[in-house]
Amino acid sequence: MTEIFGIPIQAFMGQLMLGLVNGSFYAMLSLGLAVIFGLLGIVNFAHGALYMIGAYVAWFSLEKFGLNYWFALVLAPLMVGALGVVIERTLLRHLYKLDPIYGLLLTFGLALIAEGLFREQFGVSGQSYPVPDILQGATNLGFMVLPNYRAWVVLASLLICLGTWILIEKTSLGATLRAGTENPKLVQAFGINVPLMVMFTYAGGAALAAVAGVLAAPIIQVTPLMGSNLIIVVFAVVVIGGMGSILGSILTGLALGLIEGLTKVFYPEASSIVVFVIMAIVLMIRPAGLFGKEK
């Protein structure tokens, strides 16, 4: 059997694929965080809770209404996006002119409330969610056996991340969004409803978290703790990539997932801290992050 660094190639590539899947979730979640912080200046600690709620929407819609995975991929972002509208209109809009710490504390409180409510209702043992029939099984590539669903997760994540980056960085709508957050009075003078635009921006970030939750549901147990277990790592990804940098969040999320996967191969004991070690090194060398703008 062919080996890489003394490790069977199938085991090595399997771990690399697992790292790429984790990196896809890091990229999608950090993308949503970067969109919200970059355009609204809010450090959205509720992002992990929105990810968890998206997964529960998928599970609940299947268990109670028989709606399959593909319906959930549409339903969850719509419902969580609507929840984002409520949060932005009732709470966050009062904080935009204040220090970002107030937004962090508010969204952290919202995350604790959501987690507590779901723990009270569903417990902490977790619920299983089936892989859709069309994506079951695996494909033998010769050098590794690739689970079809994990390949779909990576592909879907890349398409969503790329589409979001193009929308914000390469279109007139994205230019209007950036202008509206930097100089809202000037943009409003052109007849654009900036508060409405801001509301939909937060809703879009929330919807991204929900899509990630639905994609994750067949891979991991759907549990109230799934968001809080992941959000700290995702924040580290955002800091490394550069707060507010959309491209930085995508590239850094994928890269750190791969690095984490490789660390599990060569030094498993360090796999849970390698992201934070990298964050500390990056902050010492470049405090604004790899893709952030120095002030």
Q: What is the pLDDT of residues 130-144, one digit of tens each?
A: 999 999 998 887 777
Rg (CA), the chain: 19
- Residue 192 is given by DSSP the state -
229 close to 240: Cβ distance less than 8 angstroms: no
* Portion of the chain with pLDDT greater than 90, in percent: 47
Q: What is the pLDDT of residue 201?
A: 87
207 close to 219: Cβ distance less than 8 angstroms: no
Q: What is the pLDDT of residue 182?
A: 67
User: What does the CA dihedral 87, 291, 101, 213 come to, rounded to 10 degrees?
Assistant: 40
Q: What is the pLDDT of residue 208?
A: 93
Positions in the chain short of pLDDT 50: none
Q: What is the pLDDT of residue 181?
A: 64
- What is the pTM (predicted TM-score) of this model? 0.92
Q: What is the pLDDT of residue 179?
A: 74
Q: What is the pLDDT of residue 211?
A: 96
Amino acid letter, 95: L
* pLDDT tens readout for residues 196-251: 888 888 999 999 999 999 999 999 889 999 998 788 899 999 999 988 788 888 99
Spatial distance between the Cα atoms of 115 and 161, rounded to a whole number of angstroms: 27
- Residue 103 three-state SS: helix
The single residue listed with the structure tokens 């790292």 is 19
